[in-house]
Amino acid sequence: MELRKIKSIKQIRNIYKLYQNSFPKEEKKPFGLILIGVLRGNFEVFSIEKKKTDEKNRNLYEFKGLAIALKHRDLVLLDYLAITKEARSYGYGSKTLSFLKEYYKNYRFFLEIENAEDENAKNYEERQSRKKFYLKNGFSPFPFNVDLFGIEMEILGYNCSCEFSEYFELYKNQFGGIMKKKISENIFLVEK
């Protein structure tokens, strides 16, 4: 398995399709803004691929998933991680996290998940399973949650801490104009 930064239209198409099918509408950023962020150096987008060799000994890469990270100063937010349905339960998620933890070892590396303690959520079991997965992979909860555009999110970090003000700054400084204003009006601290 390899994590390859996007370089081809095929990779972008595969990532876009999986991105659109894997996350709720209200949790997705406009994909064009992510690509602009890549050009500005704020986002890093990885294609998770399995390397194969064909009969002519050429390297072929089979798409298995995506990882999208948002960077600011010494902070890295794993914004999205998704594995294709066919590749789930084969360790691609854990292997990807291991790679990213090493790749970002000089950064404070963290992620967001939907509040797993909300027993009234229609996807409560999925939330519990997701949290268990990240805890198993070495992440631990921050002492605060956030209201991110109306969705309560838990923040889990890998051997690091972060203040809400730093988290907020990471988001606020990634976009300009109207998006910066929208972000400022739609991210709030939720005390535990």
Domains, the chain, ordered by start: 2-191 (3.40.630.30)
Answer whether residue 90 shows pLDDT above 80: yes
Q: Which residue has the higher pLDDT, 177 or 126?
A: 126
Beta bridge partners of 169: none
Long-range contacts of 157-163 (CB under 8 A, 24+ apart): 157/108, 157/109, 157/110, 157/111, 158/101, 158/109, 158/110, 159/109, 160/108, 160/109, 160/110, 161/108, 162/75, 162/108, 162/110
pLDDT at position 80, please?
Answer: 98
Q: Write the pLDDT tens digit of every residue in 127-182.
A: 999 999 999 999 999 999 999 999 999 999 999 999 999 999 999 888 767 778 88
Q: What is the pLDDT of residue 7?
A: 93
At 59 the pLDDT is 83
Model pLDDT, residue 192: 72
pLDDT in tens, 92-117: 999 999 999 999 999 999 999 999 99
Q: Rounded to 10 degrees, what is the CA torsion of 23, 27, 31, 32?
A: 170
Contact 170, 70 (CB under 8 A): yes
Q: Which two tokens stand for residue 20?
A: 């659109």
pLDDT, one tens digit per residue, over 8-52 is 999 999 999 999 999 999 999 999 999 999 999 999 999 999 998
